[in-house]
Amino acid sequence: MSGPDPYFFGYGSLVNRATHDYPMPRPARLTGWARTWKHTALRPVAFLTAVRDPSSTIDGLIAPVPGGDWMALDAREWAYERLLTTDVVHDLPGSVEIAVYAVPNTHQASPDISHPILLSYLDVVVQGYLREFGRDGVGRFFSTTHGWNAPILDDRPAPLYPRAQQLSVEETALVDSYLMQMDAQIIRN
């Protein structure tokens, strides 16, 4: 008889349940880590990665990977390395194996005008945090994410992010208000 299914900890688009169908996702926290915007030669745009930061804790979701079949999630997160971690605070009974995806340090570079953050990706992430953790959770997302000086490509009219979601007027205004507070550099097509 095999043990319990392993879990993943999602801290970006995986927080938005509309982007996946993993069963029984539930809120959790990753201690000693923060998020940052990075790009690699493996992708044309910047995306979130988890980085060790002893002064930070980030909200996210955990969900089981049925049968330990990581193939689909590894394909989705192909530019990341899957790392086992014991840094997740959760309400599951007993001990479970939990992995977090992070871009290897050797592949990380800071976003630039040629490798911007996609606004459609950021919209998906913020929508997920709003639905899971409320407005306070969105605030924690922005405060525990580094690299807001990166350029952000406004691709809302024609989303480039493959799992883009439709935001309500209120959700769009919330994202825009935080970007204004962060004095974000928005690039228009």
How high is the pLDDT of residue 110? 72
Distance CA 149, CA 110 (A): 10
Q: What is the pLDDT of residues 34-63, one digit of tens each?
A: 999 998 877 889 999 999 999 999 999 999
* Placement of tokens 């996210």 in the chain: 60
Write out the H or E segment, with its range, that includes residue 158: none
Q: What is the pLDDT of residues 94-111, one digit of tens each?
A: 889 999 999 887 666 677
For the domain bounded by 7-188, which CATH number is listed?
3.10.490.10
Q: How confident is the model at residue 2 (pLDDT cuts 50, 70, 90)?
A: low
Tell me, rounded to whole angstroms, the distance of Cα 93 from its chain centroid: 25
Q: What is the pLDDT of residues 138-168, one digit of tens each?
A: 999 999 999 999 999 999 999 999 999 999 9
* Mean pLDDT in residue range 1-24: 90
User: How many other CB atoms are there within 10 angstroms of residue 59's CB atom?
Assistant: 19
